[in-house]
Structure 1
Amino acid sequence: MANPGYGKRSAPGQHPRTAPDFSHLPPREAAVAAYIDRLPDGADISVKTLAKWLPYGQCALRTALHRIEAAGHLRRGSECVATDAVLLWVTRTFFSRTARDDVWWAAFVRGDVPPEPQRPTRSRAYILLAALGRTAPALSLSAADCASLEGQVGEWFARGATEAETLRALTEGLPAVVHHAASLVRRRLVDKLPPERPLPAPRTVVLRTLECGECRAPGSPEALRDGRCRACRGERADTPAGPPGAVPVTGVRERVAAVRAGLVPRSERTARARGVRDRR
């Protein structure tokens, strides 16, 4: 395992593990990615540690990690972790079994990863209606009845009602004989509809950054295409880096030299201070 704050961190929303997960990668990269995929979170996946367990040298592993990163399975960066006293920025190496594009990684850094498309499943409302006959046999419903009443029960859930509250409203005080279960349930869903009581959605603030997988320079997700910065991709920068008004990198030393030239040497400041005290 890596030191605290380092090591593998699994990205959210990954697909279940299958045999051809990394079949699109070259054999060496596929073997390295499959090995990292099976490691637990927090495991040390640095080049030196991987070289101890895999039959590849450090240079080969460094190249393999760059290719895995370019394929969308890995990103390196930092994440802000809150403690009781301070906020700490810790190093993270995020790994995703499912290949992600740059747009997905940019959303991950912002903390608003789009949900993965899933197979259609039965809603909470349909499940409650289908199981209604277990609590009250007189209210056993057909599949068609459950489908027609699903929207009304969904409105109860949208207003903050729980399954227990909805079930109690539908099953308590039933008449001795129920001639038409679906009509009775529909009537009670209308007559006992609760008032709206929306709950505030929790807001989570996510602080993350990414860095170049080759030179480790931090940058925005848009600037780190395939996990590498513009310079490591061999592209020239069209605009100077930094915020508006920042001193260009080439002019920093000249600016510092000019500031130093304008400073008064310490020996002169000391002599002036002594002269002031002597006159007093």
Structure 2
Amino acid sequence: MAVEHFSPALSASAVSPPYPMAHPGYGKRSVPDQPPSRATDFDLLPFRERYVAAFIERLPEGATMSVKCLAKQIPLYGQQAVGSALTALSVAGHLRRVRCAVGGGDQVRWVFRTYWSRTAHDNEWWTNHLAPEPANAPAPEPVREPVREPVPEPVREPLPAPRTESPAPSPAYLALAGIGRADARLALSAADCTALAPLAERWFARGVDADYLTRAVTAGLPAHVDSPVGFVRHRLNDKIPPALPTAPTPPPAGTPVRRVMMECTECGTPGRPEALPDGLCQPCHQPATPTAVPADPSAERDISAHVAGLRGLLAGGR
């Protein structure tokens, strides 16, 4: 039976926080004429590169593509790992960074642009695609920096105390960050993991672990997920496991304890329940010893007379 996946208008809670954008004309630039996206677009890449590629694929056009900014938004990797992943994606044919000269005269500036392709291409294709643009092609406006005015020598102050280390991520945050490792279609940003952490903590409070949560959220995914944060939020709310029954609460300190003493049902002897099986004390529980029936003396006399008569008959027959 086919399962229908409805796509109603996304509410505000189903949308990730806005990603930092570059100046107009810079940032992420997707190449044209690409086939529709598929769940298997990056399956041939190693896991880290597949995770970063799926994250970049969802970024809007013009998003900032610096290593520092990407590392702030990707919860699993730092700047060094993200930089290595971008290099690997470039070698695989998905990404090219280009340095362009903008402006003229004394106002020429060199800026970087990042071209992104969901489909991997070889070097020849990239060379043709990145051929120099015609001289009359409009160029983006240069980034104008404010004029720096001289400032007086600052007063030297004592060095501030060293900052304390940032708190370690919670288990709920780490579980949400790991969902994208199980399926890149649900890769969440750092802000997404922070926003959804209270929902994941409700799962942990009901006795499940990170593996259970991950399997429940990633089971039966549709071919394409428009909003990973909205999809994960929906499943965290709808598929939360039932609460386990809690242990009985002990009585408060100082509460008088009601003591119960049993007594034998037959003789009334008091005792603890374990000492009165079947409600009877030990003497009453044991069956009475049967008494011997006394022999009838007359029966013994009859037998003796009968034996004497038999002996007389035997003697007369001789």
Same fold (TM over 0.5): no
TM-score category (smaller protein): 0.3 to 0.5
